[in-house]
Amino acid sequence: MKNTTILIALFLTYFVTAQTEIRLTTEPSDIKISKHIYGHFAEHLGRCIYGGFYVGEDSQIPNLDGVRTDIIAALKEMKIPNLRWPGGCFADTYHWKDGIGPKSDRPTMVNQWWGGVTEDNSFGTHDFLNLCEALETEPYISGNVGSGTVREFADWLQYVNHDGVSPMADLRRENGRDKPWNVRFWGLGNEAWGCGGNMTAEYYANLYRQYATYMTDWTNSQQMYRVASGASDGNYRWTEVLMKNIPKNLIEAVALHSYSVIDWGNKSSATAFSEKQYFQTMQRAFKMDEYITKHVAIMDQYDPERKIDLIVDEWGGWYDVEPGTNPGFLYQQNTIRDAMIAGMTLNIFNNHAQRVTMANLAQTVNVLQAVILTEGEKLILTPTYHVMKMYAVHQDAKLIPLSFDTPLFNFEGESLPALSASASQNEAGDIHISLVNIDSQMAHSVSIPLENLNSKKVSIEAIQSPKIQDHNTFEQPNKIEVKTFTDFNVKRDQIQFEIPAHSVLLIKIASK
């Protein structure tokens, strides 16, 4: 063979991939992708609440009862369906009665997990629940099991949910709120195996039973939703013990936490990362599928009717803090790499929607894989924000199972599936396919047959940028945003295009 022929052969092997055909089943399934998969998490940690959401009533920054109105507007625009609060690890140190009544009278505490800063309790139950009302989102309260009491927990429920005459409902009225908030989602502790009390699974399961017994939602109109503090990553034993030991009438969901961190001892920079670190982060994020599959398999053994949900109430990328910032505040930038984590992970959740009915990205503002970063009065939306907003079309839509053979993303002798996707059909009949190419080097050629679909009206949106390290800054806030993608054609009953390297696409096939 001549040298040029060899070169052409090599070129074809490495730079031109076969076309991947993504097939939609003709009918959507009966499985609904719960909107709560797109939930968020706000802890009293670093600048998430204080200096993030909450700037105080006297701030020059426009606010509603102390909460930044620009944050409220951005989160509503993103269609935030629920918000978990007040932790995280903080939840098992939090005593809710310290956060009600006149702000000047509230006692202080020290935030033992996050920087040892003084917490003045100026953002408490009313502030949080009123914020949820302003956001038109459902609150998800994580109660204190680690250092609290059964009575304290039960009183909190009565305070926020009881409509009649009772000591806690009367106290709420004294504090200016007549009607209850009717909070449905309640977490019983957080990471009980760690910061939530270093408990064994057996001990926690017993404690859970005790707490759950005294929980009542005080309303006849809605179901209380109790979430057991779940495993981290592949701790399947934890899930098994909870499923075995907690009676079904006391539990609605088991949680799972999983962070995309390369190495807890060497997490690496959020922006100045190498190709190898990028690949390792993708490997870590991709593990979510295995974790969910295996936790669900255990749940299936004990709950074959699938009455108990799996909720991933903490997930996201975790890196070194930004240079010069408080290590206890977990403030990190957010790049195209984070858009890949978000796109891939949300596809995994959608495809597991039968059991995974809620998830909470950690955390909303200024902490970990945030959707919003603030600096004084300035605010930027991160690439992750744009993914969450783009994927909002899947909220409460019917899952459409897909089948395809993904090309591989190869790196130094290891490989990962390059493409991930999920699809749904909304009430109007529109079909949306979210497609992610995590391959940092190569575009991949894709076709989507349309022959069984009535409509061929196709449009595509994209999140992409030349480098995986690219991100929005306060100086250049719109470097990464959602753009219309026109580089496709619809021919012979197929949509055809090349999905660019490290990009997220949303393909819409409109019903009319």
Catalytic residues: 191, 314
Stretch that binds ligand AHR, among 362-370, 372-380, 462-470, 475-483 (CB under 6 A): 362-370
Stretch that binds ligand AHR, among 84-92, 125-133, 276-284, 426-434 (CB under 6 A): 84-92
By beta carbon distance, the residue nearest ligand AHR is 88
389 is written with which tokens?
């907003």
Cβ closer to ligand AHR: 54 or 218?
A: 54
190: contact with ligand AHR by CB under 6 A = yes
Do the beta carbons of residue 501 and residue 437 sit within 8 Å?
yes
Nearest to 70 by CA among 78, 61, 79: 61
Distance separating alpha carbons of residues 483 and 464, to the nearest angstrom: 8
Distance separating alpha carbons of residues 252 and 242, to the nearest angstrom: 12
341 is written with which tokens?
């984590």
43: contact with ligand AHR by CB under 6 A = yes
88: preceding bond cis by omega (within 30 degrees): yes
Residues near ligand AHR (CB under 6 A), total: 10
Stretch that binds ligand AHR, among 57-65, 85-93, 302-310, 390-398 (CB under 6 A): 85-93
Which class for 154: exposed (0-12), middle (13-18), buried (19 or more C-beta within 10 A)?
Answer: middle
For the CB of residue 40, give the shortest distance to ligand AHR in the complex, in Å.
12
The interaxial angle of helices 275-302 and 336-351, nearest 10 deg, is 20
Ranges within 107-166 binding ligand AHR (CB under 6 A) = none
For the CB of residue 102, give the shortest distance to ligand AHR in the complex, in Å.
29
Nearest to 280 by CA among 295, 294, 291, 266: 266
362: contact with ligand AHR by CB under 6 A = yes
Distance separating alpha carbons of residues 205 and 325, to the nearest angstrom: 38
88: contact with ligand AHR by CB under 6 A = yes
86: preceding bond cis by omega (within 30 degrees): yes
Cβ closer to ligand AHR: 161 or 239?
A: 239
Position among 314, 338, 439, 461 found at the interface with ligand AHR (CB under 6 A) = 314
89: contact with ligand AHR by CB under 6 A = yes
Do the beta carbons of residue 53 and residue 364 sit within 8 Å?
yes
For the CB of residue 59, give the shortest distance to ligand AHR in the complex, in Å.
25
What are the residues binding ligand AHR (CB under 6 A)? 43, 87-89, 190-191, 314, 362-363, 368
